[in-house]
Structure formats: structure tokens, C-alpha cells
Amino acid sequence: MRRSPKETEDSARQVHRRSLLLGGAMTAMFAVLGARMRYLSVEQGDQFKLLAEENRISIRLLPPTRGLIQDRNGKLLAGNEQNYRVVITREDAGDVNAVLSKLAHVIPLTEDDLERATKEVKRNSPFAPITVADRVTWEDLSKVALNAPSLPGVSPEVGLSRVYPRDVDFAHILGYVGPVSEKDLAGIEAPDPLLTIPKFQIGKIGVERWMEDTLRGRAGTKRIEVNAVGRVMRELERQEGTPGADIRLTINADVQNFVQARLGDEAASAVVMDVQTGDIIAIVSAPSFDPNLFVRGISHADYNQLTENDHRPLANKTVQGLYPPGSTFKMITALAGLKEGVIAVDKHESCPGYLEVADRRFHCWKRSGHGKVNLERALSESCDVFFYEIAQKVGIDKIAEMGRRLGLGVRHDIPMSAIAEGIMPNKAWKSERHKAEWRIGDTINASIGQGYVLTSPLQLAVMTARIATGREIKPRLVHAIDGKVVPIEDQESLGIDAIALSKVRAGMYSVINAERGTAKSSRIVDEALKWAGKTGTSQVRNISAAERARGVIANEQLPWDRRDHALFVGFAPYDNPRYAVSVVVEHGGGGSTAAAPIARDVILSALSEGLPPLSAYPSSQRNRIASMLEKLPLRDADGALPSPSRS
């Protein structure tokens, strides 16, 4: 059937209209798609680029180089050594257990290693690299690198680990570093991101801990490209961190080594201070330990050996050890008596060998007594009764005030761990601590450094430095940080009468140089180096009246841990003081026989900055001293110890 011209025209018009509508719709659709594409590619391009980058780029923290620690002359005490390790990243590894199993066939790994790594992988962020093996050999590191395609997420790394080249000499000063623990993090309000890196090491005790923020530095970053299975393809960018600051201590490494060697296996401690600046030249606690064991991961056997040793090698006796000061405290009682005017220049006290107070006898160490004694002789021969008499007249509060003025019962602020405050008791202290009244017997005991009085070797060295100078000398352990010298604190006058100080110093001089001085055998014959000091012996057990009646048991007949502590304090040279020293030998017996000889060797070492000169000793002692010095295991110029055959 033929269409009419009108029908044909109407049909063509409809097709044209539909074409226009369809074309318009398609144009609109393409316009919307174009606008969307422009939005995604231009306006949102950076965001999608970042998302894409995150799929193939990993950003990791770079631990900074830990600051060095040196002695006053620049000798290395704590440094960093190259360390090869193998790490695994959970996000890149996929099946961690399977990868670790493969790794165990490439390098030697124990069951404990695998178990520890598995636990740490689960506990930490999937993006955090976990150390599987530390301190691996170059050969094992190479094996891991060669097998990298079959070990997704596993990376060989080269880092730095802490090392202490002078090990035992500085263990109690420097301390050591170790992995960050939950306990460490719990004590920090806003932890440095570095601390979240598994196995990242921080200072645990000593200077390493108390100057952690200074030594640590700031982290760097690196951007690495990884493929679909997590293998590192290349490093795209690296921004190094800021190294930690180097610290220079006031310690002289050679003197420190001499003192450590001289104390040997004794349970003992010694402190040497510069009396002009407060610089600590040596501070030694014996026996010591090797801090490198803790950095590398100490074994149970080694740790048990340290903790079960009755000489307590892990304890820092110089600052946390507290001892009755014994007769080294008598200078405090004397200065309190001089200040209060109860000791006259020509006044003598009678010592029959004891003092009776309230139906109780307080004995002098010399059973037959010293007879008539003045202050100088009382110090020289260490007469107890003289100080009993003085203490009764002065009272404990005045004695305690003088003790604190001279640095006892005070926590001295140096960057070492567990610094003890000690006890400088008075009436208020006993009332608060023991809920009891102070008694005259307490005063008498305190006057000779017994009873409640407890001091540390550091405090005794500070006391001696202050007596030697009359100034408020404060101990100082850090000499410089990154080359910038730490200022010395103001050293104000103690406000003690100069004549009173000179009389006490004269008594200390007689202790060593008078015919009947308790430390006469430890004198120095070199006129330019002559010194002054005070012996001390502190009891660690009560002596009953019955034992006194039949004769006090000699120290050498008692078990080691029941013997008296031996103490000595001194300064040299006498005419121009430069160094003060304190020595405590636990259960060493008498201060004159056990502590004084060590103190003399130590202070001569400080004065000579090395081996004591034989010419400073009495001629009759030189052969014995030379033989003793020859046997000491002293380090050479490079810090190395002698071979076992030589020592």
C-alpha cells in the first residue's frame, strides 16, 4: 500500500525528532561523563595518586645514630658498631608462618627465635618491621638477599648496635641499652615514634637512661617501592635523621681503670673528686659486670651468676650503697662542736676507754683508753670517748645540721641510677620514722657514725671535698654536650669558721702523718703530695657485754658477711687540695688496714693521671707496691686489657 505524501512527511518528521532527542541525550551523557572524568583526573588527581602510591610505596622510620659517650680526654666509652639483622614485615609477607619456616631453612633459627618473632608480628603493626635474627653473619645476610624472591616481606638490613669498649670499667656509670618494653612506654606521656619500632633500644640504667633524650637523636624516613608480593624493588627517597648528641664525661678513663683494677674482686667502692670543680674523676663499684652482655641479650646462666654473687656486682655501691660512716663521721661532730663553742683550743677530754651514760657503757675502740686527748689527737688516734662527750653537749640536731651542710643525708643530682639520699637523723626524723623519742644513746652512737646514720661513698667524697675547701662543692659527671661545656655550679662558702676547718684538717693530717696516727702506714713521703684523711670502721653486728668481757672476736675469725666495713676518706695535696677520695670495703675489717692503702694508691693515681709514682711511697714499701702494681690488669693506650697470661 502506497503512502500518501503527507504520511511520508509525518513519518520523516517523527524520525528526525527522535534522532534529535537521542542525540541530545547522548550528548548530555557524554558531557556528564567528561565532567566526571575531569573531576576525577584533575580535581581529585592528587588524592587518587596518593592512594595508588600507598599500594606500592612504603614509608619507614630510620633510627638515628645514637650519640657517643667519651671520657674527659675524648676516649670512647660507649659507641656504635655495624650490626647485620633480618627483619620481616607482616603486611608484605602474607602468610608469616610459612615465610618464617622457609627462612629457617636459609639461616639458622631456633624454635625460640621463631616463637618470639611470631608473637611480635601479631603484637605490632602490620607495617612495622620485626627483627627475626640479630647480629647475623655476612654470609647469612647474603643468603637472605639471594633468596629474597621466595621470602616475601623479609629484608636483610644493616644497622648500628651499642658497644662498650671498656666494658666493666664503666658499667655502673654508663649502664646499658635494651629493647623498649611496655613498662618503658607506660612511663612516657607522648612516646617518640621511634619507641614503637620493635627492638629499638633505649637506655635502661646509668647515663644511658638519664640522658636518653640527649643521646637518642631524631628519626629519619625512607620511601621504598615494593612489588605485588611485597618485595622491595628500590629506595625512592631517604631523609636521614638527626644523630644524638655526643656526651663527654668528667671521668678520666685511665684513673677509672686503675681504681677498678685496684679494687679487684673486693666488694668495694671508691670515688675521686676534683675539689675545685666538683668533677668526678673516677667512681667505681666492684665487682663489676660487662654491659655488652645485656645489649646482646644476656643468657640465663650469665644473669644468674651475677644475681647469685654475694658481692652484688649489679649494685652500684658508690651511689646506692648506704653504710654507717664510722669514724669518718667524726669531722662532722668536731665541726658542730667547734661551731657551738664546746671545744676549746687547749681543752682536753679524758678517755678511760668508755663513757657511762644512764647505766650503760659506751666503749672506745681502744679498751685501755687514750688518756687526756685534745681535738687533733682525738682525730689522729680516733678516740671515741672524746666525741661522745662533745656530742652530749652539742646535741643531735646541731650535728645533723652540720652533716647536711657537708653533703650527708642529701641526694646529689648526677645522671646515675638509684642514687640514695642516705640518713642524717635528728629528733624529728626519729619521731616521724619510728614514732619514738630520741635518746641520749642515739646521739652518742651517731657521734661516731653508727646508729641510724647511713651514708654513700659519693656523699663521703663530697663531705671531704667541702672540708678541704670550705665551699659547697657539688659533684659533676657531665663535662660537655656536643662540644659545649656544661657550666660549673656556684660554689658558695659553707659559712663554717676558717679556723675551725683548719683544726679539723690538722687532725686529718695527723691521722696519716703523726707517730700514732691510725693510718700512718699509708703516708705519702713526697712533700709536694702529702695528704690528710680519716679512717673509719663500722660495725655490722652487735657486740654483747659477755663478748666484751671474754674478748671481742677478731674480724678475720668471723664469717665474711659478719665482719666490719672498712672506710677511708682523704684529700691531697694537704697544702693545696686538688682531689678528695672516699673508699669503702664491705666487710673489709679495719679502715686503716683495708681501705686506707687503697685510698692512697687511688689518690696518687689521680694526681699522676696514671700509675702512682713509686717515689711517693716509703722506701720500705716500694718493692711490695711495685710487685702489686705489676700484677694489676691495666688497659693499654688503646683501652685493651692485657692477655690472660700476663695478668
Averaged over 244-264, what is the pLDDT? Answer: 97
Nearest to 568 by CA among 326, 406, 370, 386: 326
How much of the chain, in percent, has pLDDT values that exceed 70?
90
pLDDT grade for 647, boundaries at 50, 70 and 90: very low
**Catalytic residue IDs:** 327
Give the mean pLDDT of the chain.
88
Q: Which residues of 467-504 are buried (b: 16+ CB within 10 A; e: fewer)?
A: bbbbbbbbbbbbbbbeeeeeeeeebeebebeeebbebb
**pLDDT over 70 (residue 229):** no
The string of pLDDT tens digits covering residues 319-358 is 999 999 999 999 999 999 999 999 876 778 899 999 998 8
643 vs 105: which has the higher pLDDT: 105
10 Å Cβ neighbour count for 544? 10
Residue 416, pLDDT score = 95
- Using CA atoms, how far apart are residues 179 and 164, in angstroms rounded to an integer? 17
Residue 547, pLDDT score = 58
Residue 234, pLDDT score = 73
The string of pLDDT tens digits covering residues 91-131 is 778 788 888 888 888 888 888 888 888 887 887 777 677 88
Q: Is 136 helix (H, G, I), strand (E, B) or coil?
A: coil
Residue 345, pLDDT score = 67
Residue 135, pLDDT score = 79
pLDDT grade for 5, boundaries at 50, 70 and 90: low
Domain spanning 58-245: CATH superfamily: Penicillin-binding protein 2a (Domain 2) (3.90.1310.10)
Residue 444, pLDDT score = 95
- Which CATH architecture does the domain made up of 253-292+316-631 adopt? 3-Layer(aba) Sandwich (3.40)
Nearest to 268 by CA among 563, 623, 519, 476: 563
**pLDDT over 60 (residue 230):** no
pLDDT grade for 12, boundaries at 50, 70 and 90: low
Residue 13, pLDDT score = 66
pLDDT grade for 553, boundaries at 50, 70 and 90: confident
Q: Where are the alpha helices (DSSP H) in 412-475?
A: 427-434, 440-447, 457-469
**pLDDT over 90 (residue 38):** no
Residue 49, pLDDT score = 57
Residue 639, pLDDT score = 84
Averaged over 78-98, what is the pLDDT? Answer: 84
Element (H, E) at 357: strand 354-357
CA dihedral (407, 408, 412, 416) positive or negative? positive
How much of the chain, in percent, has pLDDT values that exceed 90?
59
Averaged over 523-530, what is the pLDDT? Answer: 96
576 vs 185: which has the higher pLDDT: 576
Averaged over 430-456, what is the pLDDT? Answer: 95
DSSP string, 13-76: HHHHHHHHHHHHHHHHHHHHHHHHHHIIIIISHHHHHHHHHHHHEEEEEEPPPPPPEE-TT--E
Averaged over 487-500, what is the pLDDT? Answer: 93
Give the rounded distance of the alpha carbon of 644 from its chain centre. Answer: 28
CATH topology agreement for domains 58-245 and 253-292+316-631: no
Spatial neighbors of 355 by CB under 8 A, at least 6 apart, are 361, 362, 364, 385, 388, 389, 444
Strands 247-249 and 69-70: parallel
- Sketch the domain layout of the chain as residue ranges: 58-245, 253-292+316-631
**pLDDT over 80 (residue 18):** no
**pLDDT over 60 (residue 157):** yes
